[in-house]
Structure 1
Amino acid sequence: MQAETPRKPLVSVDNLGVTYTHNSGEPVTALRDVTASFFPGTMTAIIGANGAGKSTLFNAITGQLRPTTGTLTVDGRITYMPQTEAVNWDFPMTVRDVVLTAFRHPTPDDKTTADEALASVGMTAYANRSIRQLSGGQKKRVFIARALATQAPILILDEPFAGVDQDTEEVLFRVLTARRDRGALILLSTHHLGTLRSMDRIVVLQRTIISDGAPDNTLFAASSSVLLGTALMEDMRKDGDAE
């Protein structure tokens, strides 16, 4: 029997560290000694209390900041959806226009891809509507559609389920799962307990990785840390109360 070819990671970090200078002039360590590899066809949640370094890790992977120490390897295009989208809500842009910003010079095929992405998140009926007229959850669906339209092999999503209702959360999770099943690597941060057990893997971050593995084992390890468990559960409770 022929041995199975080992999968190659799409993203690898090795002893990654990020330090910046505070306004006071003092150095602040945002990440230290972070080592992990992420593979195609998987969906991983990066969790941790506020200030744990999740967004910093995403910014390092996407090239928006340079690590202070360690190495970072990315094999493939990345689509990144940050928590706050840089959209001028006063600009007369339609929902379809927002999705088409995924392409530098949209072709007819790109427009078809954009419409298919909108259909996948249930936003076809809103394609010609101004983005200003949408609710927060509807806007989130549009930004997910934009990420999907790029067809990048690596999707990084910072809090994609924040501020959405249950129906939207289920739609978004379904389309992300479908993209994973087609071979994409999906990295996301979330405070939503309901989605965590459906992940392939959970990485618990507190400036460094304190637990990494299957959902049940990883969540138990996180909750067993009194300090992190209390802070993390409080953040999740606040996130749930805000919706």
Structure 2
Amino acid sequence: MKLYRLSSSVARSLNGCRSSSTMATALIPSVFENHSSKMSQLPVPISRNNIQMINIDALLARQFSTATRRKRRGSARSPTFEDSQSNTSVLTVDNLSHNEQFQTAANHLFDKIETSIEKLKGCNDGLDIERSGPYVDNTVNTQEEERNKSHEGQIAIHIPPSGDTFWGGGTYTLTIHFGSIDGVDGVHSGYVSMQSPLSGTFTYIYNVRTREWEGTEDGHSLLGMFTRDFIRQCRGVPDF
């Protein structure tokens, strides 16, 4: 219940009034002038002791009966894949299944790598990139062999040999796999493996929150690892 305090000047002028109806009418703001008859019927006791504290909630409820509109909260933005070249959203993943989200994220990763390496061919003689689609090997005998040989997509970046024994030559192979990884917590539709001629083989899962491919062992970035090794062997830095 809200109480409204009258100014001291109004209170002093009302102290001289003799009838409660006159006092009630005097208390009504100009916006309520047409409702003076209703005001006199409200159970608002008025005396010299409480003349400065008048309850007018009933009048406000009658005059402003329209419900207050509440501001609608904006919904959180769904995770999207951003195209670094055009700065536009490529896809919103919230409306997709887990398998579709994973496949879309993996394909987007391959698109970025392929586009970036193509730009560096001009300054690296013999640099080549090869991309292939899903492959199923029906000749495998065990589930482990099937997981190693079959895949949902693969990209290979061939570095020509050079005079350097350690840094020269080799192939970076990135492969998309469906299924979970042993020893990794959480539910994952698949993972990407990367084999580097310098650092070896690592597996990565996609983090929807950060939109990064993170190593299953220590959380390092796939693109970070690839860039670190690549610039040791080739000219230029991939534009991811």
* Greater relative contact order (CA < 8 Å, ≥ 6 in sequence): 1
Tell me the TM-score normalised to structure 2 length.
0.27
Tell me the TM-score normalised to structure 1 length.
0.26
